[in-house]
Structure 1
Amino acid sequence: MDPDSMGGDGGDVYWRRRMSVLVAVLVVVAVVAWACSSGGSGPERSSSAQTSPSATPATDPLLAGLRTLAMGTASPSPTPAPKESPSVRPRRPGEPCQQDSLVLSLQGGKEPIYTGETRPSFIVTLVNTGPVMCTADVGPRTMEIRITSGADRIWSTADCVSGVGTEVRELQRGVPYVRTLEWDRRRSSTDCRSVSAAALPGTYVATARMGTLRSGKGVFHLR
């Protein structure tokens, strides 16, 4: 086009049209850029922005100001107070063991049936599960091994104990105290009769007792 023809009113119209097209292009580019940066990727992008507000920068000052105002005035949900655990007095090493920190168990011999003169044997263990070392009386009166047959009390380590009958031991945490014993197949009694009768053939039950603690039952038979 001849430059001379753009003079006067015709030239003004030409440049106005050129500026209008340029402005329209810039507006379209700005709208597309704003849409891409403010969540044009769909619901998933919006969800991540909710969980992490600082992950997506705000390109619009008005939106940024509204978001800041909302975050500053919103009341946070109250955080529940932690439940208080019951206070437990720390135990010092060497104090008497508590019953609820001890585990008492009994195991019978390899054979559940004993014939002839074979004597039943047992292994008794006591384990401290407390936080520190403690002491316990494992004497025959306190830690009793008892044998019964039905309702009949046949034999007990607490019968006719000579001496003081106490034996205090230190129990380290998790380290079992072990006691082994054999039963001579004879009855015992609290009145300490000089002659004890032999136990008859039948089914018997051995248990270990210590205060309120009870071991499992060890069932065996005499033939």
Structure 2
Amino acid sequence: MTEPSRTPKQLPREIYLRRRIAALVAILVLVVILIWAATALFSGSKEDPGAESQQAAASGTLTPSEDATSAVETTESTASEESTEPEAGEADKEEPTSEAKPAELTVDPSKTTCSLQDLKVMAKTNEDSVPAGKMPTFYLEVFNPTTEDCSIDLDEEQLRFEVYKMGSNERVWSDTDCYASVETGKQTFKSGETRYFQADWSRKRSEPGQCTEREEAEPGAYFLHTVIGENYSPALPFNLL
């Protein structure tokens, strides 16, 4: 009896091709499924910042970083605007002006009458140290601190400027030694008013009635009095260079 052959019968080539194609398709499908699953997993835990920004812009809201920047700008703008407004309690204060008077130049309500000695006479100069060859300019300021106008006859109570040598108190010059006073006649000094008078000094010495061949005042320290009658200003020191 003849034994059957143990060699397997070879399948047709078409069947092998179909099986390989089916296996490749299955592998591709499995890979696609795995990629899709991984993408879904990661997209659920991490949002797209670009999409968030676009959504925020569309809805009119700001992201946290933009909101912080806006808050800083708003704070600076508010501070700038508030700095231009008067602080509490200052709204009724008046700004100082060039006409504002020092505390000592105020009207005293208790002074209801005015005489020459009530007037405040002050001396001023344009320079504390006057360069050589330049004439000093002096000013007499007079303020009435009473509640009444003050009438003064300057023909009787002479208005004048006087310069003295520092140290020796030697009288060196007065504007009325050789010329008339800068103001004469009856003058009214009104309550609370300051009036100004001016004189220039040629830097030459003088004495009453001696107005020729006058000597130059030497460089050094001097002081000025401005005077009305016997009402003298405080001494004002200055230098001739």
1:156-175 matches, within 5 Å, as: 156-162=174-180, 166-175=184-193
Give the counterpart letter for 1:207 in structure 2.
H
The offset of 1:138, in angstroms, is 4.2
- Asked if the contact 2:157/2:230 (under 8 Å) is kept, the reply is no
In structure 2, what is the equivalent of residue 123 of structure 1?
139
In structure 2, what is the equivalent of residue 79 of structure 1?
none
| Shift in alpha-carbon separation, 1:141–1:119, aligned structure 2, 3 A | farther
| Shift in alpha-carbon separation, 1:184–1:89, aligned structure 2, 3 A | closer
- Asked if the contact 1:144/1:210 (under 8 Å) is kept, the reply is yes
Equivalent of 1:106 in 117, 123, 138: 123
- Asked if the contact 2:157/2:229 (under 8 Å) is kept, the reply is no
The offset of 1:139, in angstroms, is 5.8
In structure 1, what is the equivalent of residue 151 of structure 2?
135
Spell out structure 1 runs of 4+ moving beyond 4 A. Answer: 88-91, 138-141
Confirm whether residue 199 of structure 1 aligns to residue 212 of structure 2. no
Q: Deviations over 1:116-147 (max 9, x none)?
A: 21111122111122222221234697122110
CA distance in 1, matches of 2:179, 2:135: 21
For the aligned residue pairs, the C-alpha RMSD in angstroms reads 2.7
CA distance in 2, matches of 1:181, 1:107: 11
| Shift in alpha-carbon separation, 1:179–1:136, aligned structure 2, 3 A | same
CA distance in 2, matches of 1:89, 1:179: 25
Q: How many residues align?
A: 129
Please, what TM-score do these two structures have when normalized by structure 2?
0.47
Give the counterpart letter for 1:125 in structure 2.
E
1:22-101 matches, within 5 Å, as: 97-101=114-118
| Shift in alpha-carbon separation, 1:90–1:216, aligned structure 2, 3 A | closer
Q: Deviations over 1:95-130 (max 9, x none)?
A: xx5134211111121x31112211111221111222
The offset of 1:168, in angstroms, is 2.1
- Asked if the contact 1:204/1:220 (under 8 Å) is kept, the reply is yes
The offset of 1:90, in angstroms, is 6.6
| Shift in alpha-carbon separation, 1:89–1:103, aligned structure 2, 3 A | closer
Q: Secondary structure at the match of 2:204?
A: coil
In structure 2, what is the equivalent of residue 184 of structure 1?
202
Give the gaps of 5 or more residues in structure 1. Answer: 1-87, 92-96
| Shift in alpha-carbon separation, 1:101–1:193, aligned structure 2, 3 A | closer
In structure 2, what is the equivalent of residue 71 of structure 1?
none
- Asked if the contact 1:140/1:158 (under 8 Å) is kept, the reply is no
| Shift in alpha-carbon separation, 1:135–1:141, aligned structure 2, 3 A | closer
Please say which structure displays the higher CA radius of gyration.
2
| Shift in alpha-carbon separation, 1:151–1:134, aligned structure 2, 3 A | closer
CA distance in 2, matches of 1:113, 1:140: 34
Q: Secondary structure at the match of 1:190?
A: coil
Q: Identity of counterpart residues, as a percentage?
A: 21
